[in-house]
Amino acid sequence: MADHLARTLAAEAGVRGLAAVTTELVEEARRRHGTFPTATAALGRALTAALLLGGLAKDGARVSLEFSGDGPLGSILVDATPDGDVRGYVSRPRTDLPPRAGKLDVGGALGRGLLCVLRIPPGEAVPYRGIVPLVSGEIASDVASYLVDSEQTPSVVGIGVFVNPDGSVGAAGGYLLQTLPDADACIIDRLERNVSASEPPTELVRRGLGAGDILGTLLAGFPARVLEERVVRFRCRCNRARVEAAVVAMGRAEMQDLLTTERRTELVCEFCGERYLLDEAELRALLDAAGATPGERS
Ligand code: ZN
């Protein structure tokens, strides 16, 4: 089943929900960044969280999440659009800790620190920024705490990544359930009871449930309808033109230096691991296009 995200609304109960199946895109992130199991789980959970938060945003907006901790993993940076594009990386992809209570120790890898959420409205207007301390470093509970503390929206969040014994991603997905502003206070309790009675997200995904089915399970007893389903994917915004612009931004002296010493340069996109090689001819063309001042041309 291709990765996808579903949105639902139980208007009468005052509940909305999103769920996502993200197995393929988390596996793609693992391959691109060469992450080890604990880092794979951390990055996969964060990518899924960004898609869920992005699913609440307006078209043309972006959501970015930065988890920075004092643990061996360092930080995680992910961003997503409401269209379902997500990208991201961890600062130390080869982080792998012994399991804790039979689970990948994402909280131990991240440690104590902060979650910073940036909501960037369409047209790159002034972003809304919210910062909360990490509750556990396990990602889902940190995102729930952000939504409650910073956006004053009672929310239940569950996210999981199952890593196969060979290190590849076996299943990934998650959900986000929220009460609407005028909802009955006991609704969130009912949601939490539903969630604790249900299997964890990775089990639901491994059983072959789609995002709409996951919402149906979690919202059992609520008259909800699925509003839409959309495809989600790992997709970066980097391209050759941006890389060339970055090289030009280094300045003529730096470019000239690169030409005389290395004669070529390779730039790697942090977000997706894509490598861009610029050879001597390309560097020279960029230098020429950058415009020479009189007397500077050699
Ligand atoms: Zn990229």
For residues 51 and 4, what is the distance between their CA atoms, to the nearest angstrom?
10
- What spacing in Å lies between the alpha carbon of 32 and ligand 1's midpoint? 10
Domain containing 51 — which CATH number?
Answer: 3.55.30.10
In a shared domain, residues 126 and 187: yes
Please state the φ and ψ torsions of residue 92, each to the nearest 5 degrees. Answer: -125, 90
Has residue 262 been placed in a domain?
Answer: yes
Has residue 294 been placed in a domain?
Answer: no
- What spacing in Å lies between the alpha carbon of 29 and ligand 1's midpoint? 11
Q: What is the domain extent for residue 280? A: 240-289
- What spacing in Å lies between the alpha carbon of 243 and ligand 1's midpoint? 10
- What spacing in Å lies between the alpha carbon of 236 and ligand 1's midpoint? 5
- What spacing in Å lies between the alpha carbon of 209 and ligand 1's midpoint? 31
- What spacing in Å lies between the alpha carbon of 13 and ligand 1's midpoint? 41
Q: What is the pTM of this model?
A: 0.92
Rounded to an integer, the average pLDDT of 192-221 is 94
In a shared domain, residues 105 and 223: yes
For residues 64 and 51, what is the distance between their CA atoms, to the nearest angstrom?
10
Number of independent structural domains in the chain: 2
- What spacing in Å lies between the alpha carbon of 195 and ligand 1's midpoint? 36
State the pLDDT at residue 297: 44
Per-chain mean pLDDT for the chain: 92
pLDDT digits (tens, 9 = 90+) for 102-146: 899 999 999 999 999 999 998 867 899 999 999 999 999 999 999
Which of 191, 207, 234 lies at the terminal end of a domain, its last residue? 234
Rounded to an integer, the average pLDDT of 185-193 is 84
pLDDT digits (tens, 9 = 90+) for 212-246: 999 999 998 888 888 899 999 999 999 999 999 99
Has residue 88 been placed in a domain?
Answer: yes
- What spacing in Å lies between the alpha carbon of 271 and ligand 1's midpoint? 5
State the pLDDT at residue 292: 52
Domain containing 257 — which CATH number?
Answer: 3.90.1280.10
Rounded to an integer, the average pLDDT of 20-42 is 98
Has residue 295 been placed in a domain?
Answer: no
Has residue 296 been placed in a domain?
Answer: no
- What spacing in Å lies between the alpha carbon of 268 and ligand 1's midpoint? 8
- What spacing in Å lies between the alpha carbon of 270 and ligand 1's midpoint? 6
Rounded to an integer, the average pLDDT of 98-103 is 92
Residue 13 pLDDT grade (very low, low, confident, very high; cuts 50, 70, 90): confident
Rounded to an integer, the average pLDDT of 149-158 is 92
- What spacing in Å lies between the alpha carbon of 183 and ligand 1's midpoint? 41
Has residue 215 been placed in a domain?
Answer: yes
* 145 conformational bin, left if phi > 0, alpha if psi -120 to 50, beta if neither: alpha
Query: Does residue 180 carry a pLDDT above 90?
Result: no
- What spacing in Å lies between the alpha carbon of 191 and ligand 1's midpoint? 38
- What spacing in Å lies between the alpha carbon of 45 and ligand 1's midpoint? 19
In a shared domain, residues 269 and 158: no
Has residue 297 been placed in a domain?
Answer: no
Which of 218, 234, 250 lies at the terminal end of a domain, its last residue? 234
- What spacing in Å lies between the alpha carbon of 246 and ligand 1's midpoint? 13
- What spacing in Å lies between the alpha carbon of 84 and ligand 1's midpoint? 16
